[in-house]
Structure 1
């Protein structure tokens, strides 16, 4: 587990907290009952229902651990109190792709609020990290899995994070 703090809004935190509560509560109870019911069916070495339920239980526990870790490292940030002239968590950034001469808009958000289809990217994603700290007019050179991207910062404003 990492010591890195994770910025998120109160809404993002509450959304993850709600998911964690749901996973620890009703979902874990349901899977535990499936394991118990399958165990009662007899020979565990050849019991496919038991093995499937145990695998589901393990995956659920891994997700619970991940969410608990994120929430434990969360730092609640009020985006309205952040600088408006620098790309930071909670910024809405209009950029120009220098290679393709196309404009894109990104909102830098925390866990639980990401939605790449809507341009909402995590601050710790490659593009998010590459944009952080930049000001209007600067060029961000970002290493991504498909190569290198150059974005010119055109506008910075506060994201409308819900």
Structure 2
């Protein structure tokens, strides 16, 4: 799995790069400062501040390695160059709930950028798997914790979401 490519949108990759930059430029120097300050308090064997800061540093370095790995394995899919009427990775789909008729809108994205609150669902999620390959007017059967649900595909669009300033990881 270490060499497996991971599909991601341009904005998803940009978010990862912003997080990496923040971790290196802001978080890492902050922790180094905390360690130095705690070290100045003397005996390290019983210095809780020092051990807490070292623990924080360990978590940060792990996250840095993880984000760098994700960036290295990212396979950017330029959604703006996609077209067609079928649901594929990157598609933004408007669905009508078969029971209530309520409409919802989701973009099918990679696992790393999935965020239901922002309307981004993982390509591996049950709803995305039920939608892939279908087109406008088709009905998708989705198994949910509450039972079987039906969604009619109202529209399929390909729009690359721009990264807004306050949208950092």
Whether contact under 8 Å (1:16, 1:112) holds in the other structure is no
Residue 37 of structure 2 is matched in structure 1 by 37
Distance 1:54 1:127, change over 3 A: farther
Matches within 5 A, 1:37-56: 37-56=37-56
Distance 1:22 1:111, change over 3 A: farther
Distance 1:56 1:159, change over 3 A: same
Residue 135 of structure 1 is matched in structure 2 by 135
Whether contact under 8 Å (1:92, 1:108) holds in the other structure is yes
Number of corresponding residues: 162
Shift of 1:134: 2.1
Unaligned 5+ residue runs, structure 2? 163-169
2:5 pairs with 1:15: no
Matches within 5 A, 1:145-160: 147-160=147-160
TM-score (norm 2): 0.77
Residue 24 of structure 2 is matched in structure 1 by 24
TM-score (norm 1): 0.80
CA RMSD of aligned residues (A): 2.6
For 1:34 and 1:89, the matched residues in 2 are separated by: 43
CA deviation map 1:66-123 (0-9, x unaligned): 2122212211212133242111122111112224432211122346755433423333
For 1:36 and 1:148, the matched residues in 2 are separated by: 57
Distance 1:55 1:135, change over 3 A: same
**Which SS does the other structure have where 2:95 is aligned?**
strand
**Which SS does the other structure have where 1:16 is aligned?**
helix
Unaligned 5+ residue runs, structure 1? none
For 2:149 and 2:35, the matched residues in 1 are separated by: 49
**Which SS does the other structure have where 1:121 is aligned?**
strand
Higher mean alpha-carbon deviation, 51-60 vs 127-136, is at 127-136
